[in-house]
């Protein structure tokens, strides 16, 4: 996957060190009586414990992301691990749930299985040794030891806050928060995941969702408090990197795609998984909710766009054609077209006029709220008894064949095998694969970026006519991330060369270019 490149002076951990042991049972060494920290214990802690016990969120003052930290005491002043003495190790006692007036760990989750707890106890009894290979000992990265960059990293994702004041940029082990106009770095959100694959602000702009992980080891979703710049929650997801994070319109759910071919969604408040869909046959690269939050769309390397009903987890339909060759290669990019309100502009003008005339201060808001809102099209009638009507939605899809396509989300005619009835429009092809697409806030325009043989291109199109509005003159290298600034006056692009470029969407001229990470001299 091209987007997973990282041009850094850090060595990646070997894929041979995959941690499937956490669910597959003990390793060969454990079966013979000798328990390995690296092969047996670390994967268990990674999957079940590190979400709440990491440097960015040390619950109870206890960190479990390194071997050395396990021996330290948390807020209780009682050491977590005492080598050779499991009965005096607080960690072991909390896993067993034998401590009076203390919750069994993991808190609020299913307890470890008896074989897993036995592994931990036996490892402590055997001396709690660290057998991590030298090649796998990663440098410590946390808020006190932030990532250092000798080269610019490949940037896989960017997103503007709803008010346009912030631009989130995916880095290595972190997300960097920049001013929306590119004039300065204001925060670094440093977490557990080595690879950051997608970032997305919540509808109210108060929380940033981040998906990523360590390839072949674990996946993770992070929720960051933007005002405090602190980690609210970390959720371990599968045994590989997580992609395509997206928010439900009400901000209560976050969805993601996984390298295990699944689509999942979680409650933001609790971290509880509320949706699981396994209909894809390859990595799921992007997700987006319908405007009413009742449906979820996902795109995958299997070339399909799938529709899932959120409350029931029911797979509904393949949105795209399944005719061989209709969509060549994998699908990589997805965005929901903002619903068009035909009267918003009119309501805003009336409200502004009332405010200027010095009428009641609150009358402007009252008038705006009373104007009926008309969506881009009417609701789609129910197709079966007891099935609610659906709001009309449109999505933009692109991928390996380089050709963005606009689709209706919901089918309005009977399915015929091999049809492509939901397709509304095809746009001109890009050179290479299209890795990123984004609508402006009005839904009138979209931007897209591509990559081919070390070169890249970014363009803006008018949706209704298919007319190319501009080609960004400064973008010459592969583009993996793109975002309209909410005011519509700039489009941010990023990708292989590690630079952020702000371009005028109407002319394609460069507004600003900057380095998003602190580079070591």
Of residues 32 and 473, more confidence is placed in 473
Task: Say whether both 120 and 185 belong to one domain.
Answer: no
Pair 192, 54: CB distance under 8 Å? yes
271 domain residue, yes or no: yes
Task: Say whether both 68 and 187 belong to one domain.
Answer: no
pLDDT score, position 144: 84
Mean pLDDT value across residues 34-55: 79
Task: Say whether both 253 and 400 belong to one domain.
Answer: yes
Of residues 446 and 36, more confidence is placed in 446
Which of 136, 168, 194 corresponds to the end of one domain?
Answer: 136
Q: Is residue 329 very low, low, confident or very high in pLDDT (cuts 50, 70, 90)?
A: confident
Task: Say whether both 26 and 90 belong to one domain.
Answer: yes
CA distance 290 to 338: 10
Pair 333, 437: CB distance under 8 Å? yes
Q: Give the model confidence (pLDDT) of 219-231 as tens digits.
A: 999 999 999 999 9
Mean pLDDT value across residues 264-281: 96
Task: Say whether both 76 and 174 belong to one domain.
Answer: no
> What number of H helices and E strands is found in the chain?
7, 29
pLDDT score, position 1: 36
CA distance 260 to 281: 9
Least confident stretch, 133-142, 204-213, 344-353, 386-395: 344-353
416 domain residue, yes or no: no
145 domain residue, yes or no: no
pLDDT score, position 398: 97
The tally of domains found in the chain comes to 2
Please name every residue paired with 188 in a beta bridge, in sequence order, or none if there are none: 176
350 domain residue, yes or no: no
pLDDT score, position 12: 33
Of residues 18 and 275, more confidence is placed in 275
Task: Say whether both 103 and 169 belong to one domain.
Answer: no
402 domain residue, yes or no: yes
Taking 60 as the threshold, does the pLDDT of residue 205 lie above it?
A: yes
CA distance 231 to 207: 10
Retrieve residue 176's tokens: 């960097």
Task: Say whether both 332 and 469 belong to one domain.
Answer: yes
Mean pLDDT value across residues 215-242: 93
Query: How high does pLDDT run on average in the chain?
Result: 83
Task: Say whether both 88 and 203 belong to one domain.
Answer: no
- With a pLDDT cut of 70, the percent of the chain lying above it is 80
Least confident stretch, 22-31, 192-201, 302-311, 480-489: 22-31
Taking 70 as the threshold, does the pLDDT of residue 28 lie above it?
A: no
Least confident stretch, 24-38, 86-100, 300-314, 322-336: 24-38
Retrieve residue 212's tokens: 């990523």
- Collapsed DSSP state (helix, strand, coil) of residue 168: strand
Least confident stretch, 58-67, 120-129, 329-338, 447-456: 58-67
Taking 70 as the threshold, does the pLDDT of residue 7 lie above it?
A: no
The separation between CA 149 and the C-alpha centre of its own chain, rounded to angstroms, equals: 23
Q: Is residue 388 very low, low, confident or very high in pLDDT (cuts 50, 70, 90)?
A: low
Mean pLDDT value across residues 461-479: 97
Pair 333, 349: CB distance under 8 Å? no
- With a pLDDT cut of 90, the percent of the chain lying above it is 56
Which of 86, 105, 136 corresponds to the end of one domain?
Answer: 136
Which range scores top for mean pLDDT: 112-116, 137-141, 430-434? 430-434
Taking 70 as the threshold, does the pLDDT of residue 267 lie above it?
A: yes
357 domain residue, yes or no: no
pLDDT score, position 130: 82
CATH number at residue 435: 2.130.10.10
370-406 burial, b at 16+ Cβ within 10 Å, e below that, comes to: eeeeeebeeebeeeeeeeeebbbbbbbbbbbbbbbbb
Taking 50 as the threshold, does the pLDDT of residue 365 lie above it?
A: no
pLDDT score, position 77: 79
Task: Say whether both 50 and 85 belong to one domain.
Answer: yes
Taking 80 as the threshold, does the pLDDT of residue 74 lie above it?
A: no
349 domain residue, yes or no: no
Taking 70 as the threshold, does the pLDDT of residue 88 lie above it?
A: yes
Task: Say whether both 131 and 171 belong to one domain.
Answer: no
Of residues 249 and 16, more confidence is placed in 249
Mean pLDDT value across residues 338-358: 50
| pTM for this prediction | 0.76
375 domain residue, yes or no: no
Distances (CA, A) of 361 to 171, 344, 366, 368, 384: 45, 19, 10, 13, 47
pLDDT score, position 352: 43
CA distance 70 to 122: 15
Task: Say whether both 295 and 201 belong to one domain.
Answer: yes
Q: Is residue 129 very low, low, confident or very high in pLDDT (cuts 50, 70, 90)?
A: confident
pLDDT score, position 52: 76
Taking 90 as the threshold, does the pLDDT of residue 448 lie above it?
A: yes
Mean pLDDT value across residues 404-416: 90
Mean pLDDT value across residues 131-145: 77
Q: Is residue 384 very low, low, confident or very high in pLDDT (cuts 50, 70, 90)?
A: low
Task: Say whether both 210 and 313 belong to one domain.
Answer: yes
Range of the domain at 124: 2-8+15-136
| Contacts of residue 98, Cβ cutoff 8 Å, sequence gap at least 6 | none
The separation between CA 505 and the C-alpha centre of its own chain, rounded to angstroms, equals: 25
């Amino acid at each position: 996957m091209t987007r997973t490149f990282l041009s850094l002076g850090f060595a990646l951990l070997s894929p041979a060190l995959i941690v499937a042991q956490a669910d597959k049972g003990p390793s060969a060494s454990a079966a013979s009586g000798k328990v390995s920290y690296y092969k047996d214990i670390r994967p268990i802690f990674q999957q079940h414990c590190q979400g709440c016990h990491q440097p960015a969120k040390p619950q109870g003052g206890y960190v479990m992301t390194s071997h050395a930290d396990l021996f330290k005491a948390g807020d209780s002043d009682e050491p977590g691990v005492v080598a050779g003495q499991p009965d005096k190790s607080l960690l072991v006692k909390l896993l067993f749930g034998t401590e009076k007036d203390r919750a069994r760990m993991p808190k609020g989750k299913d307890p470890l299985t008896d074989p897993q707890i036995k592994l931990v106890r036996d490892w402590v009894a055997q001396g709690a040794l660290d057998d991590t290979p030298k090649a796998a000992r990663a440098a410590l990265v946390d808020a006190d030891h932030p990532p250092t960059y000798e080269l610019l990293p490949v940037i896989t994702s960017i997103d503007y806050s709803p008010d346009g004041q912030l631009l989130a940029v995916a880095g290595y082990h972190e997300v960097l928060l920049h001013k929306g106009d590119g004039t300065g770095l204001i925060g670094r959100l440093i977490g557990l995941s080595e690879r950051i694959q997608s970032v997305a602000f919540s509808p109210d702009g108060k929380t940033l969702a981040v998906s990523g992980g360590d390839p072949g080891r674990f996946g993770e979703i992070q929720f960051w408090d933007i005002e405090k710049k602190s980690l609210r929650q970390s959720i371990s997801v599968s045994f590989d990197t997580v992609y395509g994070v997206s928010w439900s319109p009400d901000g209560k759910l976050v969805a993601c795609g996984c390298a295990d071919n699944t689509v999942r969604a979680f409650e933001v408040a609790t971290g509880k998984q509320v949706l699981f869909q396994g209909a894809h046959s390859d990595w799921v690269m992007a997700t987006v909710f319908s405007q009413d939050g009742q449906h979820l769309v996902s795109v995958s390397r299997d070339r399909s766009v799938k529709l899932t009903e959120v409350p029931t987890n029911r797979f509904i339909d393949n949105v795209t054609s399944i005719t061989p060759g209709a969509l060549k290669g994998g699908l990589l990019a997805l965005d929901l077209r903002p619903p068009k309100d035909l009267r918003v502009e009119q309501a805003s003008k009336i409200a502004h006029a009332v405010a200027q005339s010095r009428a009641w201060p609150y009358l402007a808001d009252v008038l705006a709220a009373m104007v009926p809102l008309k969506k881009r099209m009417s609701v789609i009638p129910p197709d079966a008894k007891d099935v609610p009507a659906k709001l009309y939605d449109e999505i933009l899809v692109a991928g390996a064949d380089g050709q963005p396509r606009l689709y209706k989300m919901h089918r309005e005619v009977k399915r015929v095998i091999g049809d492509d009835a939901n397709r509304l429009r095809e746009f001109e092809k890009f050179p290479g694969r299209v890795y990123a697409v984004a609508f402006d806030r009005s839904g009138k325009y979209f931007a897209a970026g591509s990559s081919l043989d070390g070169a890249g291109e970014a363009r803006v199109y008018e949706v209704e006519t298919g007319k190319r509005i501009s080609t960004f003159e400064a973008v010459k290298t592969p583009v993996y991330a793109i975002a309209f600034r909410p005011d519509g006056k700039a489009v941010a692009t990023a990708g292989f060369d590690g630079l952020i470029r702000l371009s005028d969407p109407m002319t394609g001229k460069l507004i600003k270019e900057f380095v998003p990470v602190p580079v070591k001299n």
